[in-house]
Amino acid sequence: MNALAATNRNFRQAARILGLDSKLERSLLIPFREIKVECTIPKDDGTLVSYVGFRVQHDNARGPMKGGIRYHPEVDLDEVNALAQLMTWKTAVADIPYGGAKGGIGCVPKELSLSELERLTRVFTQKIHDLIGINTDVPAPDMGTNAQTMAWILDEYSKFHGHSPAVVTGKPVDLGGSLGRESATGRGVVYAAEALLNEQGKQIKDLTFAIQGFGNVGSWVAKLIHEIGGKVVAVSDITGAVKNQNGLDIPALLSHKEATGKLNDFGGGDVMSTDELLTHDCDVLIPCALGGVLKRENADHVKAKFIVEAANHPTDPDADEILSKKGVLILPDIYANAGGVTVSYFEWVQNIQGFMWEEEKVNRELKKYMTKAFGNLKSMCQTHSCNLRMGAFTLGVNRVARATQLRGWEA
């Protein structure tokens, strides 16, 4: 099941549990605005090439819309739609004053030079500059984009609207980016896992972890768990996978990856197949890579007792059912990976105030938001006697529905 169908299914289930009016339910599902633009740029050799850019703005009942821009060959309207909708529920779960959006350009960033990427980003910004803004829609980095991409968007947008650092988040610190933004998603995942495990009477330092994906999020999750004293027994990414039942030396593994660009040949562990990671023997499994990795075919073989979804939509609904029957507790993506957007919110606040925080304050506030959101999520689970995923969806959908009704959506 693709991401859009799965998200819609979760939304409808939450709407049923909440007893939402069917007209309101339909209104919440339809995006506020879908934008599709043509971006033609000269390549370095002088030839012209055209790309298609998207921005889906899903809902603005609770505040400006917020979401990443990804550069990836598989960017299509369906995927962007699902991710924009997920952002609406995610910002509501974290209780930050935003709605959801998502965007992207269908391209292969590795095949473009730095100057080609800059031209593409600037053309895309020229096409959408009057539809984004500090109080309208605030983009951020995503797959295939980074702080430099945001710097180009900021510069291009400012040509039309004057200096506006709060128009994007995830910027370089020198241009008004927030300290702690780089580690935010991974740190949020660890705070979320801590909240779940504490509630179960367990602690990170007593458990074993397997982490799929060793990019920004996965490497920060591994590093922070290692620092707390948890045992990371297996790690994988697209280059390979390594395991060590006594716990991998994460700082050494990070240095190895930095030096060689891959996980294989790491002296402190044994090589394993990447498929094996999801079913590896551990207490907590943390998928930090792509969506749809836990499916009907492998769900039965998962040995972890807890799954913390750091990736977007890593568990498809069939696997969800199988894992729930096995008694596996799944901490859903719309809560677990909300650390990134929460610190993006802190960055936006700092830019609007023109007053920057110290990193310690950023991390402290993030922990406060993640812990509070878990408490709210749990009370929804108790009120509606549902699992954690439905607890998160009912929490998010209910907040957006209330905001929509209070604003007078029928007028």
Statement: residue 411 has pLDDT above 80: no
pLDDT digits (tens, 9 = 90+) for 332-343: 999 999 999 999
**Do 260 and 236 touch, CB atoms closer than 8 A?**
no
Catalytically active residues are 102
pLDDT digits (tens, 9 = 90+) for 124-180: 999 999 999 999 999 999 888 999 999 999 999 999 999 999 999 999 999 999 999
Torsion of CA 390, 395, 398, 402, to 10 degrees: 180
pTM score:
0.93
Q: What angle do CA 274, 107, 218 make, to 5 degrees?
A: 35
User: For 275-321, what is each residue's pLDDT tens digit?
Assistant: 889 999 999 999 998 888 899 999 999 999 999 999 988 998 889 99
Whether the Cβ atoms of residue 40 and residue 48 lie closer than 8 Å to each other:
yes
Q: How far is the C-alpha of 227 from the C-alpha of 186, rounded, in Å? A: 13
pLDDT, residue 275, reads 87
Round the average pLDDT of the chain to a whole number and report it.
94
Q: How confident is the model at residue 410 (pLDDT cuts 50, 70, 90)?
A: low
> Residue 296 and residue 306: Cα distance in Å, rounded?
17
